[in-house]
Amino acid sequence: MPFYHDTKQLYAVLQTLFARIGQNSPHAADGILRARLVIRLRTSEPEGEIALDGRQPPLKSHFGPAAVRPELDIQMSVDTLHRILLGELQLGKALSGGLLKVKGPILKTLPLAELFQQGRRYYPDILRELGLTQT
């Protein structure tokens, strides 16, 4: 059974996570901003779409279909994303294991590493704050 019950619950957690990263670790988006990247993360189980727009500071996040054209399109299950954010699965292993599919220049995934690293710092606390148990 997937960790998140629906897209609304997923978006609530990720909006809180990106806000926390923006407040406490704004440098985490520097690589995306330097590269002026637009990244779309599409999830399954539940289906969702998150766009990170780094064309100009500050990094903007859009939840749901967005009118921005991504240079990098990443697809994964929400449970894979959950495991990455808990630190149970490394981004590189998810990619090499086929759990994460990337359309676009694979080297452009490198700026995501810092964002995910900072996300791991806050994600477990956010789950607890929102009353979600880790499974």
Domain boundaries, the chain: 7-129
Going by pLDDT thresholds of 50, 70 and 90, the confidence category of residue 134 is low
133 against 101, higher pLDDT: 101
SS3 76: strand
What Å distances lie between residue 114 and 4, 30, 41, 69, 132, CA to CA?
Answer: 24, 9, 16, 22, 25
CATH class of 7-129: alpha beta
Instruction: Evaluate if residue 65 carries a pLDDT over 80.
Output: yes
Pick the range with the lowest mean pLDDT from 79-93, 102-116, 117-131.
102-116
Instruction: Express each pLDDT in 16-29 by its tens digit.
Output: 999 999 999 999 99
What Å distances lie between residue 117 and 1, 47, 67, 74, CA to CA?
Answer: 26, 24, 27, 17
Mean pLDDT of 54-83: 94
Phi, psi (rounded to 5 degrees) for 125: -65, -40
